[in-house]
Structure formats: C-alpha cells, structure tokens
Amino acid sequence: MFALGRFSGLMLSLALCGLAGNALAADKFVVAVGNQGNWENSIPELGQKHGIFAKHGLDVDVLYTQGGAESQQAVISRSVDIGAGIGPAGAMAAFAQGAPIRIIGSSLTGPNDQFWYVRADSAIKKPEEMAGKTVSYSTSGSSTNSVVLAFKQRFKIDFKETKTGAAAATFTQVMSGQVDVGWASPPFGLEEIDGGRIRVVARASDIPEFQNQTVRVLIANPDVMKERADVFKRFFTAYRETIDWMYSDPEALKQYAAIAGVSPAMAKRIRDEFRDKKTIEPAQFSGADDIMKDAIKFGYLKATLSQDQLGKLVELQK
C-alpha cells in the first residue's frame, strides 16, 4: 500500500507538471513572408531567434514564399496568421472581390529599395531600352508587379512583364538568358553589382508616386484576428521590440547577416543605407488614395474603395 501510494503520488505530480507545462506553452504563430532576406521581412525570424517573441508567450514559425500573392493566399485560406511584405494594391483587389483580408500594418513605407537589373553584357543601359524585352516581377499582385506596370506608364514603353518568383530564382533566369531584366531588393544583388556581374537599369524610386506610399503591408484574416485577439496583440508588442533591438544591438546585425547570407558589414550597409527605422514602423498606412488610383490604372481595382470600405479594410494594430 505504501509503495502504491508513492506511485500514485508520483503520477499525480507528473500530471500536474504536465498541466502546468501546457498552461505555460507558447502560442504558435505562423507568418508567411515573401522574399527571404529583406531587412523588414526578417523581423519575425530575428525576434524568434533572439527570444523576444518567447518573452511574450509566442512561438513564431516563418513560412517563406515566392512572393506577396502566395503569402496573401495563405492568409485568406487561414493557413497562416499573418502575411508580410504584401503589395497593398493586391490586398485591396482581394478585399474588393470579397476575400477575408485586413491590412493590419505596414511592412515598408517610403522610398522603395527594389531595383531592376540586367547582365553586365546586356545592351540595355536605361529604362527606355527595356521596350520589347521581358521584364520580371515576383508574383501577381505583388509590389514588384505594381512597379513593373508603373514603368510602362512612366517611361512610355511596352514590354512583356514576366512572373519569375523570388529574387534568387529571378537571378538564375536572368543569368541564363531566360529573362532580360530581373528584379531584386537588398541584400540580394548588392554583391553582384559590386562585383560587376549585373547592372542596375531602373529602380522603384524612379516612380515619384511611390515615394510617400506604404509599398508593402502586413495582412491577416479577420476571423483569425477575432479568434486570436490577445495573441495578435502580443505579436505586435514583440514585433516592435524586435525593431528596437535591430537598430540598437550589433548582435542583431550578426543574426541578420546569417539569415540573409551576407557579411556583417553588408548587413550594416543594408540597414543604414536602405532602411531608416521610421520606414518599417508598422502602425502606418500612407497614400491610400494614390494606391487606389494606381490599382485602377493597372487593373487591380475597377473602382476606388469607399471610405467605409477602406475603414473596414485597414485595421492598424497599435
């Protein structure tokens, strides 16, 4: 009886420990991100690796996709909690068509770092010479798609816009001659530019209308947001803490360099030259009217969203 009592007591202790462990278990949270290695797209992975999300009871998984459209579909289907780096025009178009989607924050606002390049031996030297060529973008509805369409308007040329996926896949297609003009965003392409393998011929910053716009956003499914309201609140608290750490601790540059596959010196260059901290503050959404005008011009929207529709679509997480 004594032995049985000790055994029962042990089992009870283990059961209580298990219950306590379950109670303290971190909430899983999945983020779909296009273009692995972008500074702002690395926030979830950096925060997870450094333990910032864990401090807020979260275990964040990052799902890297081929671009914003793929990430957006994962949000709509409830496969992930948040999509990061989404083109706002694509998000608006999906919302207008009845998709369960909300813009909950900005991934990037202001001057866009995306650039378009050719092989060093290409005859193309300037944007106007892209006429009649194949010019790449990542996925339909992405920010790169919007920029490529804007190039046609800005430079009064016609070319074949070509979906090529992520920056790495695009580079392979350019270097093998499958595509004439590729797209990239730091860190991708900087070493190739410095090494003389490729040459920049156009930049997203060539489009004046994009200069004060939110060019990539964070999105979520409203049903998931409602079901996991407390989890979303904790996520954004940790997200902001991660941003603060990325701009204050040299260790963040080392960890980012490992994620992006670049040197710590290159990581510092990417942050200091291309990413002012204020451009990745999530609680902003700028240039909605201009975004809608461009979305209509480029065929994403048939009409501008009403103020009521826009108020429903944009639910910034403070």
Residue 258: pLDDT over 60: yes
Residue 24 covered by a domain: yes
Tens of pLDDT, residues 160-169 = 999 999 999 9
Looking at residue 223, its pLDDT comes to 98
Query: Could you say which of 167, 188, 208 is where a domain stops?
Result: 208
Q: Are residues 93 and 241 in the same domain?
A: yes
Q: Is a pLDDT exceeding 70 seen at residue 102? A: yes
Per this entry, what is the length of the chain? 318
Do residues 102 and 241 both lie within one domain?
yes
67 plus 127 within the same structural domain = no
Instruction: Write down the pLDDT at residue 68.
Output: 87
Domain hosting 150: range is 115-208
Same domain for 232 and 104: yes
Structural domain total, the chain = 2
Same domain, 103 and 221: yes
Of 187, 208, 229, at which residue does a domain stop? 208
CB atoms under 10 Å from CB of 307, counted, come to: 9
User: What gap in Å lies between CA 215 and CA 142, rounded to an integer?
Assistant: 10
Q: Is residue 150 part of a domain?
A: yes
Per the domain annotation, does 4 fall within a domain?
A: no
Structural domain contains residue 49: yes
Digit-coded pLDDT (tens) for 110-152 = 867 899 999 999 999 999 999 999 999 998 878 899 899 999 9
- Whether residue 2 is contained in a domain is answered as no
Residue 100 in this model has a pLDDT that exceeds 90: yes
Residues 97 and 225 in one domain: yes
* End-of-domain residue from the set 208, 227, 248: 208
Q: Please tell me the distance from the alpha carbon of residue 192 to that of residue 94, in angstroms, as a whole number.
A: 36
Q: pLDDT tens-digit profile of 63-93?
A: 999 888 899 999 999 999 999 999 999 999 9
Regarding whether 56 and 72 lie in a shared domain, the answer is yes
Whether 96 and 147 share a structural domain: no
Same domain, 161 and 202: yes
| In a shared domain, residues 89 and 122 | no
Report yes or no on 196 lying in a domain.
Answer: yes
Whether 162 is in a domain gets the answer: yes
pLDDT digits (tens, 9 = 90+) for 155-210: 999 999 999 999 999 999 999 999 999 999 999 999 999 999 999 999 998 998 78
CATH number, domain of 26, equals 3.40.190.10
Distance of alpha carbon 162 from alpha carbon 153, whole angstroms: 17
- The answer on 300 and 160 residing in a single domain is no
Predicted pLDDT of residue 244: 98
- 140 and 165: one domain? yes
State how far the alpha carbon of 236 is from the alpha carbons of 42, 217, 246, in Å: 14, 14, 15
Q: Tell me what percent of the residues of the chain surpass a pLDDT of 70.
A: 92
Q: Is residue 290 part of a domain?
A: yes
